[in-house]
Amino acid sequence: MSKPYTGGCACGAIRYEISGEPMVSGDCQCRDCQRKSGTGHGSYLTFPSRERVQLKGEATHWDIVSDTGNVKTRAFCPTCGSPIYLTFAAMPDLFTVHAASLDDPGRYKPQLVTYTVRGHAWDQLDPGLPKFEKMPPT
């Protein structure tokens, strides 16, 4: 078994530990991720089960409707404002963390890029990754 993924916000008020491996790690170039990150994309690790997540601290949550019409809930620290995780109403078991929130961001290994249709020429991502104009087929 691999060592747990650990991370949290910049001020340390929110911490997480997740056992197991992510089911997917990827970059997203949708407008929501651009606005949230303040740059051209967001980078995420998605885990298949919330049961393997230990979460400490109280995040502030806000809902947004994605391009597909699904509701995603973004969680951030109310003290420092760091984005920490996302959950999805249509897929309640999934738990997604921001790659930059990891204690060891070097563990992030992107596998794909989504929403390239919204990408910007100045946001150059790994050209070797599979790219999808929107969400890939399931």
Q: Establish if 115 belongs to a structural domain.
A: no
Q: Establish if 117 belongs to a structural domain.
A: no
Is the pTM of the predicted complex or chain greater than 0.95?
no
Two tokens at 78?
């109310």
Structure-token match 């760091």, residue found: 82
pLDDT band at residue 17 using 50, 70 and 90 as cut-offs: very high
Domain containing residue 89: 5-23+42-108
CATH number at residue 59: 2.170.150.70
Residues 85-125 have pLDDT tens digits of 999 999 999 999 999 999 999 999 999 999 999 999 999 99
Residues 30-73 have pLDDT tens digits of 988 898 888 999 999 999 999 999 999 999 999 998 777 889 99
Does residue 78 register a pLDDT over 90?
yes
Q: Establish if 63 belongs to a structural domain.
A: yes
Q: Which residue, 57, 112, 107, is CA-closest to 85?
A: 57
CA dist 86 and 73 (Å) reads 5
Q: Which residue, 60, 49, 44, is CA-closest to 20?
A: 49
Look at the chain and report how many structural domains it folds into. Answer: 1
Q: Establish if 114 belongs to a structural domain.
A: no
pLDDT band at residue 24 using 50, 70 and 90 as cut-offs: very high
Handedness of CA 98, 16, 48, 129 (dihedral sign): positive
Burial of 31 (0-12, 13-18, 19+ CB in 10 A): exposed
pLDDT confidence of residue 27: 97
Q: Establish if 98 belongs to a structural domain.
A: yes
Q: Establish if 134 belongs to a structural domain.
A: no
pLDDT confidence of residue 1: 60
Q: Establish if 133 belongs to a structural domain.
A: no
- Phi, psi for residue 105 in degrees, rounded to 5: -60, -15
Q: Establish if 33 belongs to a structural domain.
A: no
